Structures are given as structure tokens and as C-alpha cells.
Amino acid sequence: MPTITVLPHPELAPAGAVFDAPEAMSICDALLLNNIEMEHACGQVGACSTCHVVVVQGFDSLNALGDYEEDMLDQAWGLQPKSRLSCQARVNTQDLTVEIPRYSLNHAKEMP
């Protein structure tokens, strides 16, 4: 089973995280199952960009990026060449290293 390494994020994973995830599971589901409260404002249907991650290692092993996902990614904060919507990117056979951007674009999120 591939391993996902999550780089430290000040709010969602201050110490980072390492866990296994089954093939074909979305990165977003794997994060949520491991108590990393990834935003997923559209319910993981690929219609927002709040679940944006940068796949630092293993990017090429993921399922192909679709046109629609590419369009949504254009709205993501901090877009990188290895950016994906974590709800659309599925774990394959390779280990992944994932960075969660510092901010997300979430129009629905209320300020504290």
C-alpha cells in the first residue's frame, strides 16, 4: 500500500503526517481519514479549489489531470506546476509527498 507523507502545515498538520492509503483512494479522502481536516467545500465533486494540494513527490503516478480539473485549479491559491485537486487525484502504486498550501480559496468560509 503506498505511503503518503504530508509536509507540515501550521494549522492542519503542524508536525506533518505519514500514513498508508489504498490504491484508487483520492488524496482528499486519505487526508480526511487520517484526521487532516482538508477543506472540501464542494463535497469533493471537483467544483471548487479548496482541496488544492501540491504533490511534491509521486505527481506523475497520479491519474491524468482532466480539463475540468485544470480549469478549477486555475482558481487555486498558490498554484504550482505539481498542483492537483486532492479530491480528483487518486493514489496509485507510488508513494506520495503532499504539501497543503497555506491558504485556500473558500468563499463560504466564515472569518473567526
**98 near ligand FES, judged by CB under 6 A:** no
Distant-in-sequence, close-in-space partners of 26: CB < 8 Å, separation ≥ 6:
44, 86, 87, 88, 89, 90, 91
**76 near ligand FES, judged by CB under 6 A:** no
Nearest CB to ligand FES, comparing residues 17 and 76: 76
Smallest distance, Å, CB 32 to ligand FES? 10
Single out the residue of 7, 25, 42, 65 in contact with ligand FES (rule: CB under 6 A): 42
- C-alpha cell of 107? 468563499
